[in-house]
Amino acid sequence: MKNGWYILNYHDISWEENEFIRGIGGSFSPNDFREHIALLQQNFRIMGVQDAYELFKTNTINEPIVSFWFDDGFRGNRKYALPLLENIGVSAAISVNSRFLLREELFWRFKLSYIHFNGGDRFLRSRFRKRNILINEPLKELTFTHFSSELLADIDTVYQNMTTKEIRSDAFRIFDDVDGINELKNKGWLISNHSAAHYPISENSYIHEFENQFLECDKVLETHFGIKNQFWVLPFDRNISPKVKDSQKSREQNFVHVGNKINKNNFNDNTLSRIEVSNLFGEELIHYLANIELIK
């Protein structure tokens, strides 16, 4: 393994993958996560994000170090990942979306997944057709390409029509709440900002909301957890707009994305790269990490 800081990116660690998540993916079962930990222990030094970050800042990483970073604030991280990591004496980082945390708004991709698995694609397509959106693409891709507040409203309208108040309330069960995140914070986890509602704000289609979304979430982190947040964790990390770099120059926060690269010393552009691994099982993980490149 190359020396450097490998930040492994996960989403939900849970036995459950219901209709909200199934179409989007990102769930990883606790027994698979346990196996990951066992394999990583044989090949890396495992450290908490905060501790590894201190080494990274001072250019003193001279061995392969692994940390865990969980996105979207899922409850499963506290239920299942926390005890497994506590067993090996390590904390992790979790990036939360404030509107999911406060039950103000459900993740729009989860609404899309629910709509799809309940036969509601046709309702979305007919609304998109009226907006002259070409509907030949798969829905998941199409909603990225044409993302807008009108498209969001369409998805929400269909979702509201297809669900009851109880289903919508129950849907938030997969996200952790303020008490849960406080518990993680008290156990040494780093709590960070994944924007207010996980829109594709680093893409050109919605870049105008970039700072607003992160600032909204920063305010919630300060109010509920007393945190002066250091990390802005980019949602989606697909086609990053050049304007993100511009924003980065004027901000003191570190920008965290999924670059699938190893972080080396040379801390000079306040960017951290993470490695997506929840699609890798068993020894695949180690082979993949052995071939990852260093960030340049």
Partner 1 sequence: MIPNTLNASILNLSKTTNHTIVIITGCEDRHKRFALRLQQEFKSLVIAWYEVDSSCSKKEDLNNRIERNSGKIKEQNQFEKLKKSIHKKGVRRTVKLVWLNLKNKVLKGDIKSDDSFFKEELLELEAYKQLEPIKINPSDAISLDFISEIKELNPYFLLTLGGVLHKKELLNSIRGIAINQHAGFSPDFKGSETHLWALYHRDILKVSSTVHITKSGADDGPIIRRSTPCFSPNDTVENMFNKVVVLGTELIVEIVQKIIKSKELQVFNQPKYIGKTCLSKEITKKIKGSIQRDFDNNWLNMELKRLRNF
The phi and psi torsions of 244 (rounded to 5 degrees) equal -65, -45
Smallest separation (angstroms) from partner 1 to the CB of 20:
8
> Looking at beta carbons only, is 51 or 121 nearer to partner 1?
121
Number of Cβ atoms within 10 Å of the Cβ of 177: 18
58 or 160: CB nearest partner 1:
160
CB of 108 to partner 1, least distance (A): 15
Q: Tell the smallest beta-carbon distance from residue 69 to partner 1 (Å).
A: 19
Nearer of residues 128 and 210 to partner 1, judged by Cβ: 128
Residue (of 166, 159, 165, 168) closest to 120 by Cα position:
159
Shorter beta-carbon distance to partner 1: residue 27 or 254: 27
> Residues 148-168, buried b or exposed e (16+ Cβ, 10 A)?
eeebbebbeebbeeebeeeee
Nearest C-alpha neighbor of 9 from the set 296, 292, 253: 292
- Nearer to partner 1 among residue 17 and residue 72 (C-beta): 17
Question: Among residues 3, 73, 33, 27, which one has the least CA distance to residue 263?
Answer: 3
Enumerate binding residues for partner 1 (CB under 8 A). Answer: 12, 14-20, 22-25, 27-29, 31-32, 34, 79, 87, 116-118, 121, 138-140, 163-164, 166-167, 170, 173, 281-282
Residue 294 CB, nearest approach to partner 1 (Å):
29
Helix or strand (DSSP H, E) at 66: strand 64-71
Task: Provide the minimum distance between the beta carbon of 255 and partner 1 in the complex, in angstroms, as a whole number.
Answer: 28
